[in-house]
Amino acid sequence: MKARELRQSSASIFRRSLQFFSFLHYSLVFFLLVHLTWIGGAATAPEVVWIHDGFGVGKYEVTQAEYSDVMHANPSHHEGDLRPVENVSWGDAQLYCETLTEREWSEGRLDRAARYRLPTISEWEYACRAGATSAFCFGDDESRLVQYGWYSENSMLVTHVVGLLKPNPWGLYDMHGNVWELCDEGAYC
């Protein structure tokens, strides 16, 4: 089976198991998966990746208001409650996830078997592309990036309120810009 066909087949299976829900005041998209094999990596050098369990991804980047509510601090340079938090290290992001998990456990709003965590690179990439077989969730035409993501050419080099541009086909916003996302392996996505 060719890489493109495998991607399309996996994406079709995945779309059928996608569930949307709101958890607390954080909007999440939950991916219900059972041993998904997917062709990921760069469009020019695809690689097979395995995602073994379901996972959740925020519909929006973590806002400064959400981060401040949990951590009682706002490290961001470009301040605004609805802008994404920035100037956060990988360790800060891990601590945020741990602190949020502990708080939700103590409030009885999160099952003890669950926890907040950073996505793996494979999980993030899969959620970002929304099953697309192209370089971006919207295809390979880079001229369309301006509709989906803030980047150096359209952002005036500042962050913007989350969710202003188009979401990907699975309802996730700012996956192609605004701020870099941190992944579990310590990498930026």
Q: What is the dihedral of CA 120, 125, 128, 134, to 10 degrees?
A: -170
- The encoded tokens of residue 40 equal 């990921």
Whether the pLDDT of residue 171 is over 70: the answer is: yes
User: Average pLDDT, stretch 151-167?
Assistant: 94
Distance (Å, whole) CA 77 – CA 58 = 22
Residues 41 and 47 sit within 8 Å (Cβ to Cβ): yes
Whether the pLDDT of residue 16 is over 90: the answer is: no
Number of H helices, E strands in the chain: 4, 5
pLDDT at residue 10, as a whole number: 37
What integer best gives the mean pLDDT of the chain?
Answer: 78
pLDDT at residue 104, as a whole number: 92
CA distances from 62 to 119, 121, 166, 185 (A): 13, 17, 17, 18
Report pLDDT digits (tens) over 44-80.
555 666 777 778 888 999 999 999 999 999 999 999 9
pLDDT at residue 79, as a whole number: 95
pTM for this predicted structure: 0.78
Distance (Å, whole) CA 189 – CA 98 = 21
Distance (Å, whole) CA 85 – CA 79 = 8
Percent of the chain surpassing pLDDT 70: 71
Report pLDDT digits (tens) over 84-131.
999 999 999 999 999 999 999 999 988 898 889 998 888 888 888 887
